Amino acid sequence: ENMNISELLTTVRDYYEASATDAGISFVVKEWAHPLNAELDRSLMLRAVSNLVSNAIAHTLPGGTVTLAATNEDAVIRIEISDTGVGIPAEAIPSVFDRFFRVDPSRSKISGSTGLGLAIVQSILALHGGSAEITNQLGHGTRVTLRMPVLAMR
Ligand code: ATP
Ligand code: MG
C-alpha cells in the first residue's frame, strides 16, 4: 500500500520509546522537510525497522542515542537507523546479514537472540526492490541504511 514514511517511523518510535527510556537511551526521530511516501507492505516494513531499532537499543549503553531519519534521493527512499553503541567489528560486517550469525552474544545487553533479525531485514528489503547496508561509525556505533524505490517496479 502507499505509505507515509513519517507515519511508519512514528509508529516504530511509539513501540520503542518506553524501552529506550528505561535503558537510558535517547530516541530521536529526525524530521524532514516534505512528506515522503512509498509503495510498501506496512507490516513487513514495520518489522524491518523494528528489528533494527531493537538491535540498536540492545547494543547501546545508557547515555547513548538511537536516531531514525528518512530522506529521498530522486525516486529512492532512504531510512537510516543509527546508534552510538558498541559498533560491529569491521571483519564481522560482511557476515551480519547471514542467518543465525551473532558477533558475540555477550556484547548484547539482551540475551536470547537468535541471529535472524538482520537476515529478515535483508529479505524484506529485497522483496521491496531495495537494499540494506551496514556502516561502522568507528568507535561511535553502527548505522544501517535502507534504500527502497518510491514506486514498485512494473
Ligand atoms: P534476533 O534479531 O534474531 O533476535 P540478533 O539481534 O542477535 O538476534 P541480528 O539482528 O541478525 O541478530 O544481528 C546479528 C548480530 O549483529 C547481533 O547478534 C550483533 O552481534 C550484531 N549487531 C546487530 N546490530 C547491531 C548494532 N546496532 N550494534 C552492534 N552490533 C549489532
Ligand atoms: Mg536483532
Residue 39: φ, ψ to 5°: -85, 105
Return the SS3 of 128: coil
- With cell 529521498, the residue in question is 72
- Residue 117 Cα to ligand 2 midpoint, Å, equals 4
pLDDT of residue 139: 66
Give me the interface pTM, i.e. the ipTM: 0.98
Give the ligand whose atoms come closest to the C-alpha of residue 110: 1
Among residues 53, 41, 50, the alpha carbon closest in space to that of 130 is found at 41
pLDDT of residue 152: 53
pLDDT of residue 154: 46
pLDDT of residue 151: 77
Which segments in the chain show pLDDT lower than 50?
Answer: 153-154
CB 109 within 8 A of CB 59: yes
pLDDT of residue 33: 72
Pocket lining: 128 vs ligand 1, CB cutoff 6 Å: no
pLDDT of residue 36: 86
Return the SS3 of 75: coil
Pocket lining: 81 vs ligand 1, CB cutoff 6 Å: no
Which of 55, 86, 140 to mutate for ligand 1's pocket (most ligand atoms within 8 Å of CB)?
55
CA distances from 13 to 10, 41, 65, 91 (A): 5, 18, 13, 31
pLDDT of residue 125: 97
- Residue 128 Cα to ligand 1 midpoint, Å, equals 22
Pocket lining: 82 vs ligand 1, CB cutoff 6 Å: no
Name residues whose C-beta falls within 8 Å of residue 110's C-beta, 6 or more positions apart in sequence: 58
